[in-house]
Amino acid sequence: MKKEYENKQVYFVGGGLASLAGAVYLVRDCDFPGENIHILEGMHILGGSNDGAGNATNGFICRGGRMLNEETYENTWELLSSIPSLEKEGMSVCDEILAFDHDHPTHANARLINKDGEVIDVLSMGFDNADRMALVKLMLTPEEKLDNLRICDWFAGTPHFFETNFWYMWQTTFAFQKWSSLFELKRYMNRMIFEFSRIQTLEGVTRTPYNQYDSIILPIKTYLDDFGVDFSLKYTVTDLEFEEGDNITVKTICYEHDGKEGILKLNHGDLCIVTNGCMTDNASLGDFNTPAKMIAENPMSGNLWAKIAAKKEGLGNPKPFFGNAEETNWESFTVTCKGDKLLKMIEKYSRNKPGSGALMTFKDSNWLMSIVVAAQPHFKNQPEDTTIFWGYGLYTDKEGNYVKKVMRDCTGEEMLVELLSHLHFEDEIDEIMDSVVNVIPCMMPYIDAQFQPRAMSDRPKVVPEGSTNLAMISQFVEIPEDMVFTEEYSIRAARIAVYTLLGLDKKICPVTPHMYDVRTLLKAVNASFR
C-alpha cells in the first residue's frame, strides 16, 4: 500500500486535535507514509483549543477545559487506545485517562452558590409543567423545523425555564447562552440524555490526569513524530485556489511564513484537509495587572473559510458563526498560587477535594462566574509547592457585583477579588493575594461561535458534494446527530474525512443511541419531576 501512496501528499490546515487525529488515522489505518503528511499551523505550538502552558514563575494558563465523557466519546476512546501513554509503560492514553478518572470520581457538592455564599440544594431541577412540556415538544420536533431558531425563541412562552436549577447547571456545564442555537440544545439533550439525571453532581465528567495538552495532544504528537510526520509551525494558510469546473478540487494552498508569502501546488492525488473554523481564534491574554484585549476583527480560520466558501458552492456559510463576537465571547482566568492556602479554603467551603468537584457556579454573579479546581498537579511541569485552578464568566459585558467594572475590562487581580468576594473570603483577601503568582485572563471572542443560531446548510459536510481532494474538519462542519464543542466532534470529523477521501471501507464508531434506552429515559423523566 505504501507504494500506492509513494508520491502523494496530505496537507492539514490547522494543527488542532482534528488534524492530529486525521494524521493518526492515515498512518494507522491507511499505512500512509508519515513524511508525506504535513500539518500547517499558524501558531508556534500544536493543539489548537486543547492547550495548557506556562510555568511556576510567570503562572500557568488554561484557556478552558475540554470535558470528556466515557459513554459518548466513541471515536475518541478508540483513537486514544492506539496512542501509548508517555508515563505508564504498556498502557494506552485511553486506559490511562479512564484509570485516572475512575480513581478520581466526580461528585460535585457545591454546584450552585447564591449571593449569600450559600450552597443551593440542586436535587430539584426546578421545572414546572410548562417547562417540561416545552422540553418534550423540543425532543419530538424534527431538526428541519429548527432553522435559525434560538433557545430563547423556543422558551419565549415559558420564561420560567431560564430560572430553573437545570438551566443554570446545563448552561454553565456546556457554555450555552439563551440566544444559542436550538439545534445544539436539542442535540445535546439527545446525546447527553443520561447526563440529565446527574447534572447536579456532574458524575459524567471524565478527567484527564493533566490538562488536555499534556494528557492528549503531547502523546499524539509523540506518536506521530515516530512516523516522521511534518509539523510546519507558524505557517498561516491564507487562501485556497481551486481548479476550474464543477468539481471541488484544490490546486494551490497559499500561506504566510516569517512575513513572506508562499504557495504549495497540489499534484494529482494530493489531499487538503482544512480546519474551517476555530473557536479560540483571536484569543488574547492579560495578566495580574493587565486586562485581556477583545479582538473581534479578522479571525484567522473564519477569514479563510469565508474566502473559499465564496468560490465554491457547498462549502458552508461562516457569517452566522464569525459575525457577532458580542454574542460568542466569554472570558476565562487561570490562577497560579504558591502553596495551597486558597485551594484548601475552597476545598473546605465546597466539601470537594481538588479534582472531585467539577464546576462551581455563582448563580447570582453578574458575570455568571464558575470555577473548576482540577486535581493537582494539572501541568507536567507544575512543582509540588504550586497550585492552580481556572474559571470563567459568560457575561463579559456586565459589571461585577463587587468589582464595579465590566469583566472584559478587569485585570487578573480584579477577577480574583470578584471571585473571593463571591466566596465571602473578603477578610482574607490580602493574605491570599500574598500567595498569588499570577492570574491570567483570556478573552475568547469566538469561543461560543459553534453554538450560534444557523440554518442546517450553514455548516458544510465533512467531504462536500463534488469534492475530489478537499475535506473540512472542525466544530463547524455538519455531522448528523453529534454535538459540537467536544473532542469527539473533532475526532469523528477527522475519521470521516480520511476514510472518505481515501476510500477506506472501515467502520466509524456510530453515535450511541442513548436517547432510545428505556432505562435512561425513565431516569430523565424522574429527574424532571424532582
Q: Which residues pair with 467 in a beta bridge?
A: 248
- 103 and 131 in contact (C-beta within 8 Å)? no
Please give the Cα distance from 61 to 379 (Å, whole number).
10
H or E element that contains 151: helix 151-154
Question: Which among 39, 107, 21, 5 is positioned nearest to 350, based on CA atoms?
Answer: 107
What's the gap between Cα 199 and its chain centre?
A: 19
Q: Full-prediction pTM beyond 0.85?
A: yes
Looking at residue 256, what is its pLDDT? 97
Enter the DSSP assignment of 214. I
Got the DSSP string for 243-285? Answer: -SSSSB-EEEEEEEETTEEEEEEPPTT-EEEE----TTTT-EE
Backbone φ and ψ for 176, nearest 5 degrees, come out as -75, 155
pLDDT in 10s for each residue of the chain, 530 residues: 556 777 999 999 999 999 999 999 999 999 999 999 999 999 999 999 999 999 999 999 999 887 899 989 999 999 999 999 999 999 999 999 999 999 999 999 999 999 999 999 999 999 999 999 999 999 999 999 999 999 999 999 999 999 999 999 999 999 999 999 999 999 999 998 888 888 899 998 999 999 999 999 999 999 999 999 999 999 999 999 999 999 999 999 999 999 999 999 999 999 999 999 999 999 999 999 999 999 999 898 999 999 999 999 999 999 999 989 999 999 999 999 999 999 999 999 999 999 998 899 999 999 999 999 999 999 999 999 999 999 999 999 999 999 999 999 999 999 999 999 999 999 999 999 999 999 999 999 999 999 999 999 999 999 999 999 999 999 999 999 999 999 999 999 999 999 999 999 999 999 987 766 778 777 877 878 87
Please give the Cα distance from 287 to 197 (Å, whole number).
39
Give me the catalytic one of 11, 25, 168, 188: 188
Please give the Cα distance from 236 to 238 (Å, whole number).
6
Nine-digit cell at 240? Answer: 485556497
Residue 299 Rama label (left phi>0; alpha psi -120 to 50; beta): beta
Question: Which among 67, 167, 94 is positioned nearest to 125, based on CA atoms?
Answer: 167
- Which amino acid makes up residue 271? L
- 447 and 435 in contact (C-beta within 8 Å)? no
Is 210 known to be catalytic? no
